[in-house]
């Protein structure tokens, strides 16, 4: 059975996007060779990527561009090659390569995907998707990059979660640029 993994950046005050729904703050501390190697290495595996509409549209507007290939060629190539699933009731089509548009029930579709063989399923961004799947108990691991910044305003990816989710730290890694990767799984 496949794992469902969330990989997101968060600020020290708990936001994953700022008040303008931007994540540009997560790209500030890129002058760290170890961090850049981690990012490139993290782009391994062939499992599908899962997005909500907003994150999908943001990603689809960047990764297929010549700018993306110029700045992060290996990551851009992988983002364009991987299978992608976008959950949206409002999108009419999904044109980014290897993308499937799903308008049906999120939790039901994710349960089906988890039963398939293959590499882990990764959710990037997509706070509404994260909060719904966390509430449904369907997320197997949370990989959060704590960025050394405080925004004061923004949106948490757990907005809408009503019940407490106890998590257990399974790994952590600190980088010279101040980023800390924290990996959690649901506590037993």
CATH number at residue 96: 3.40.430.10
User: How far apart are alpha carbons 77 and 180 in whole angstroms?
Assistant: 26
Edge-first strand listing for the sheet containing 49-52: 99-102, 84-87, 49-52, 121-124, 4-11, 141-147, 180-186, 167-174
Least confident of 43-47, 80-84, 101-105: 43-47
Convert the pLDDT of each residue in 12-44 to its tens digit: 999 999 999 888 888 876 778 898 888 777 766
Structure tokens at 92: 């009419």
- Which pLDDT band holds residue 73 (cuts at 50, 70, 90)? confident
Q: Which residue has the tokens 């499937």?
A: 100
Helix or strand run (H / E) with residue 182: strand 180-186
Structure tokens at 163: 């019940």
User: How far apart are alpha carbons 32 and 75 in whole angstroms?
Assistant: 17
Least confident of 21-25, 44-48, 81-85, 92-96: 44-48
Domain that holds residue 80: 4-186
| Phi, psi for 136 (deg, rounded to 5) | -85, 0
When divided into structural domains, the chain yields a total of 1
């Amino acid at each position: 059975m496949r794992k469902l993994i969330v990989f997101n950046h968060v600020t020290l005050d708990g936001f994953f996007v700022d008040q303008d729904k931007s994540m540009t703050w997560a790209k500030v501390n890129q002058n760290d060779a170890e961090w850049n190697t981690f990012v490139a290495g993290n782009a391994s595996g062939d499992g599908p990527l899962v997005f909500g509409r907003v994150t999908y549209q943001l990603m689809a507007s960047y990764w297929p561009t010549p700018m993306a290939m110029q700045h992060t060629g290996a990551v851009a190539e992988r983002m364009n090659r991987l299978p992608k699933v976008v959950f949206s009731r409002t999108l009419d089509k999904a044109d980014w390569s290897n993308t499937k548009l799903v308008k049906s029930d999120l939790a039901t579709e994710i349960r089906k995907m988890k039963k398939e063989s293959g590499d882990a399923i990764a959710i990037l961004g997509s706070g509404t998707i994260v909060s719904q799947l966390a509430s449904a108990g369907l997320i197997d691991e949370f990989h959060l990059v704590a960025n050394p910044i405080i925004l004061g305003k923004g949106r948490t990816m757990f907005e809408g979660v009503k019940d407490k989710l106890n998590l257990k730290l399974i790994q952590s890694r600190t980088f010279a640029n101040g980023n800390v990767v924290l990996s959690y799984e649901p506590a037993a």
